[in-house]
Amino acid sequence: MSKFITVAKTQDVPPGTGRTVEVQGVWIALFNVDGSFFAVDNTCPHAGGPIGEGSLSGDVVTCPWHGWQFNVRTGERLGNPNFTVACCPVRVEGEQIQIALPPDFK
């Protein structure tokens, strides 16, 4: 079972925004979609762009480098679900946002 690590407070990630956090040496993009938190690999599969620096619209983040878009709930690329970014479990304990890396996370 993966260990949950506290990475931020809920007020650190306002609704409609994202940020990059470190979980056990891995950079993860964390997003707040209307009060629900989602976490995906911060590295875009296209050219390695920093997804956590992208703009969030609803539950879709746009990579700032070349515009690839991903659903932060599922990790699937819009228009081509054959490309994905890995998703991580997220939970909120009080005001603490916690993320766990899946055992097969790369």
CATH number at residue 12: 2.102.10.10
Strand blocks (E) in the chain: 5-9, 18-23, 26-33, 36-41, 55-57, 60-62, 69-71, 87-88, 90-93, 96-99
Q: What is the pTM of this model?
A: 0.94
Q: Is residue 105 assigned to a domain?
A: no
Query: Is residue 95 one of the residues assigned to a domain?
Result: yes
Q: Is residue 15 part of a domain?
A: yes
Q: Quote the number of domains for the chain.
A: 1
Q: What is the pLDDT along the chain (106 residues), one digit of tens a residue?
A: 579 999 999 999 999 999 999 998 999 999 999 999 999 999 999 999 999 999 999 999 999 999 999 999 999 999 998 999 999 999 999 999 999 998 777 6
